[in-house]
Amino acid sequence: MNKRFLLFVFPVLLYACSGKKADEQVIIEKPAVNITDGQFTPEILWSLGRLGEMTVSPDGKQIAYTLTYTDIKQNKSNAEIYIMSVNGGEATRLTKTAESEFNPVWKDNNNLLFCRDDKLISINIKTKDEMTLGVFENGIEGFRLAPDGKSIVYITTIPVKRPPHIDKLYEGLSKTTGRINEDLMYRHWDQWVDDYPQIFIAKFDGTIDIEHSTSIIDSTFECPIRPFGGIEQFNYSPDSKMIVYTCRKKTGYDYAISTNSDIYIYDIENGTTINISKDNTGYDQNPVFSHDGTMIAWESMERDGYESDKQRLVIYELATGTLSDLTTDFDYSVSNIAWSDDDNELFAIVPFRGMEEIFSFNRSTNSIRQITHGYHDITSFELKGENIIATQASMQYPNEIFAYLTKDEKSEGKKLSTYNDDILGQVKMGKVEEHWIKTVDGKDMLTWLIYPYDYDSTKTYPVLLFCEGGPQSMVSQFWSLRWNFEVMSGAGYFVIAPNRRGCIGFGSEWCEEVSGDYGGLCMKDYISAADYFTKNTKQIDANRLGACGASFGGFSIFWLAGHNEDHRFKVFLAHNGMFNFEQEFLETEELWCDLWEYGGPYWDKSPRVQKSYAESPHRFVDRWNTPICVIHSELDYRIAASQGMAAYNAAKLRGIEARYLYFPDESHWVQKPQNSILWHRNFIDWFDKHLK
């Protein structure tokens, strides 16, 4: 359930290839927006440009990035490539097509490579002349260019082949829709596993020699790892002679119950592969070579099955095979690792006390320092000498491009991009406050309070308690197309957003207190946050308190609905939440998560496991007494749609006022523009009905 880094990346690519052919489609442009009352609405949310990938030119002078705009009537979005100086200022639009461009890579200071549909294309940034370098039969999901410019490694998909004894049953049945499976992981996240990604290497001498490309993976394993892996999971060595990559070399049942991925080195010349992390049993991922080619750094989790374990920063020395951990005494996770030019420092994004910040880890002194600081989330960054070009967001603005320096100490950065300034300049954003409140066991918990956009201290307002998903994810300064606090603020609500037990970014002990105790301290943390603000903020009307959440947050809503005897909460909304733990355990595909979180299958009679399943919300339906809206999507294979339907049916059978919103074509998120608008309108309408 801990899919915390997906809020920003997916919408860039998902809407480009539906409906008519591209040459028949209207090219999507930036919409004209005129806001008169300052209210931030779902429609305005979808009018903003959404920053995708970003890369800095070899000379460090230019930034190429993808920017997505949406046409709600067409129900699609489209990404284009833009070029901007590293000093900021006006950007130049490089592409203008009805298809989305993605994965921009600098070939040199004047030429950019990128993907469009199933093609890899080169464009001259001055003349805008394009040349198609290769067309990929099974599509291309991303690529890396070798440092010497003589080859590429690209991601494409390989069809899954039926075993012979099953395949013979399909003879003469070309129109059958039946699926026969004899193993687990036959579907994953939002797709049936009909193919899997692999990485191939191909020569590049002006065009891509696809016909003679070579698969780097030695069997039918995923690389990158579904559903979220991309080009960050493999890299070239500086001399272009080796590929280092991430792979979980498991299939079926073994894949479904384990998170044990490893780091492999592929020797391009002789085609041999070695595993350099085989002694570690948890996630190992996203390897990066040092500039001198003697070391590889990556993110590493120790424990198999625990997808939210601390991500350590480990370094492997190729000459000796020695492995070291730069985060032994650092109780936070790292991601997006980058080496300094002299390979003495490593930089990484760290979830830290409610923000995502860049930290530096010094190999010589073993010292750690914080580079960035502020109410924001750093979502990615790239190093060029002493310059850091980062993408960052906050609760008050979507991803923008900022500049920092490696020598900075808690800098708030310099904003470079301006593509949303004209729209955001017309809206009134709700103020965001940081509060540290006491929990029932005397600990301090960071809770965000977001004010209504039209706040007047002489008035009182309704309030929503936001229940975070994960369960091990942080209520950070994220910007979302769904759980957008400024849309809630724009609808006239206070929002209480606590970092309850289980959230990362507050140390391992705080994070791990949720596993096996879903109905325990984490639920009391919600109550503590709600009670604190309804009692201490006079502008909050305690009689107009609602609660909402998705995934683990959706479970939280179902659980709170069964423990609302005092009618503290007047209305609930649950999205894609777990309702019946026993059924959910048998329906989910990523079994490693439930095996860790619950402690085992429900037929395991050990006290810890039975304690976990005893907190299943369906056991407390007899206590439900509050209106509830349930939302679920058919393509959510992480928490199947039957969970939402069962919760809604239970409410109706109990005589509880209830509403059910169902999406047959969405997954764990709602990503299609018109579906999202409906989601938001329903959200606001439901709470307005009961709290206004």
The verdict on residue 481 lying in a domain is: yes
* Cis bond upstream, residue 58 (ω within 30): no
Q: What pLDDT is attached to residue 497?
A: 98
**531 part of a folded domain:** yes
**Is residue 161 a contact partner of residue 227, using CB atoms and an 8 Å limit?**
no
Separation in Å, CA 300 to CA 261, 313, 326, 661: 9, 7, 11, 39
The reply to whether 575 belongs to the active site is no
Give the pLDDT of residue 9. 36
Q: Among 237, 380, 551, 667, which one carries the catalytic annotation?
A: 551
pLDDT for res 219: 85
Q: Listing from the earlier edge strand, what are the strands of the sheet with 262-267?
A: 234-236, 242-247, 262-267, 273-275
Percent of the chain with pLDDT over 90: 96
CB of 619 closer than 8 Å to CB of 610: no
Task: Write 506-511 long-range contacts (CB < 8 A, 24+).
Answer: 506/353, 506/446, 506/474, 507/331, 507/332, 508/310, 508/331, 510/443, 511/308, 511/472
Q: Determine if the peptide bond prior to 498 is cis (ω within 30°).
A: no
Contact 79, 71 (CB under 8 A): no
Q: What is the mean pLDDT of residues 331-349?
A: 98
pLDDT of residue 52: 97
Strands 50-56 and 62-71: antiparallel
632, 668, 680, 690: the catalytic one is 668
Q: Which two tokens stand for residue 95?
A: 């592409």
CATH classification at residue 517: 3.40.50.1820
Q: What is the pLDDT of residue 15?
A: 35
Does residue 143 surpass a pLDDT of 90?
A: yes
Beta bridge partners of 78: 69
Catalytic, out of 489, 594, 636, 667: 636
Residue 20, pLDDT above cutoff 50: no
pLDDT at 12 over 80: no
Number of H-type helices and E-type strands within the chain = 13, 38
In tens, the pLDDT along 229-246 reads 999 999 999 999 999 999
Q: Give one DSSP letter per residue of 172-189, joined into a string.
A: T-TT------SSS-SEET
Q: How confident is the model at residue 24 (pLDDT cuts 50, 70, 90)?
A: low
List, for residues 462-502, the tens digit of each pLDDT value: 999 999 999 999 999 999 999 999 999 999 999 999 999 99
Give the lowest-confidence range in 2-6, 104-108, 506-510: 2-6
Domain contains 557 = yes
Give the DSSP H/E element, type plus range, for residue 115: strand 111-116
Quickly state the pLDDT bin for 7 (edges 50, 70, 90).
very low
Asked whether residue 644 is domain-assigned, the answer is yes
Task: Answer yes or no: 618 catalytic.
Answer: no
pLDDT digits (tens, 9 = 90+) for 554-569: 999 999 999 999 999 9
CA distance from start to end of the chain: 33
Please indicate, yes or no, if residue 433 is contained in any of the structural domains: yes
The reported pLDDT for the residue numbered 13 is 38
CB atoms within 10 A of CB 206: 7
Residues 382/55, Cβ–Cβ less than 8 Å: yes
Indicate whether 21 pLDDT > 50. Answer: no
For residue 437, what are the domain limits?
428-578+621-691
In a domain, 571, yes or no: yes
Residue 444 is among the residues annotated as catalytic for this protein: no
Tell me, yes or no, whether 209 lies in a domain.
no
Whole-angstrom distance, CA of residue 481 vs CA of residue 133? 35
Is residue 368 domain-resident?
Answer: no
Q: pLDDT-based confidence at 25, cuts 50/70/90?
A: confident
Q: What domain count does the chain have? A: 1
